[in-house]
């Protein structure tokens, strides 16, 4: 009888503890798809934009494009456009550095 009542109290205690912790923190569900393609989106104002998207920020027109023109899997970044609408890529150094 004592063993049964002890087990029942332990069981009730475990249920109480698990429910009290669940009430403190809501369950968080993450969708792995948003992390699987890291770098394939540009972010602005907490919104995700795909390649080719155009925004105007600080009176400058920006395009979501590959950061490195010569690489197929380059990360996307906001790059400025010139007056003709061409993307202005950052200047690449002509030397190779080894650290």
Residue 18 inside a domain? The answer is no
**Is residue 88 in a domain?**
no
Report the number of distinct structural domains present in the chain. 1
Domain annotation covers residue 53? yes
CB atoms within 10 A of CB 76: 20
In a domain, 69, yes or no: yes
Distance of alpha carbon 64 from alpha carbon 8, whole angstroms: 61
Instruction: Give residue 30's pLDDT.
Output: 56
Q: Are 51 and 66 in contact (CB under 8 A)?
A: yes
Query: Would 3 be classed as within a structural domain?
Result: no
pTM attached to this predicted model: 0.55
Range of the domain at 52: 33-80
pLDDT at residue 9 in the model: 61
Is 56 domain-assigned?
yes
The pLDDT value recorded for residue 72 is 79
Mean pLDDT by 10 residues, the chain (99 residues): 65 65 57 58 91 91 88 87 89 77
* Residue at token pair 């970044």: 77
The pLDDT of residue 36 is 53
């Amino acid at each position: 009888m004592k063993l049964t009542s002890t087990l029942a109290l332990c069981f009730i205690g475990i249920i109480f503890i698990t429910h009290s912790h669940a009430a403190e923190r809501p369950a968080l569900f993450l969708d792995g798809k948003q992390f699987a393609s890291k770098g394939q989106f540009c972010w602005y104002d907490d919104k995700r934009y795909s390649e080719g998207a155009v925004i105007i920020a600080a009176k400058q027109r920006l395009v979501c494009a590959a950061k490195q023109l010569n690489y197929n899997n380059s990360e996307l970044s906001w790059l400025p456009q010139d007056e003709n609408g061409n993307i202005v890529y950052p200047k690449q150094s002509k030397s190779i550095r080894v650290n």
